[in-house]
Amino acid sequence: MASTPASSPTYPPWHPGNDGSGSGLDADLLDGRDSTSFANAAHTHGAADLAPAFADRQLQNDGWQILPGGLLLQWGRNRTFIAQEGTTSFGFNRPFSGVPFVVQLTGVNPSNQTNRDLFPQLVSADANGAVVRLQLADSNPSGRPIDGFDWFAIGLA
């Protein structure tokens, strides 16, 4: 260990020569910013503060919502009584910017009858809507109706 000459000044560990701007030891700064750049501990965000980010929406039976990142969620109900196999189509509540990522279909049987055997299958989808095939679960052609279907789609706004 080197000795300090008797004529050298002695300094406390932190002094104007090694602390302050440009020293790299600015303990009062975080990434070069002082405390006025950050929120204090009492700062909060309530629901009213966040609501505008989720305001682009229509919340009802046939509705949609655009999330802050641009993801568009849509849903709807088709309550048409369908008595036989075939295809039908429906339009989305608002267009996607391209083909949706997923379209989910669920058959509706509010009467809880066992003879409601048509089930919906997605044939195709584009930015504006989808084509659905309603098909029997077996080869028995004796009219097995369905009371409609619900749909849910996810894509980009």
> For the chain, what are the domain ranges?
56-156
Is pLDDT of 60 > 60?
A: yes
pLDDT of residue 39 exceeding 70, the answer is yes
Token pair listed for 68? 């802050």
CATH number of 56-156: 2.60.40.3940
CA distances from 89 to 15, 30, 48, 64, 132 (A): 78, 58, 39, 18, 6
Residue whose token pair is 């910017």: 97
Average confidence (pLDDT) over 33-41 = 81
pTM comes to 0.65
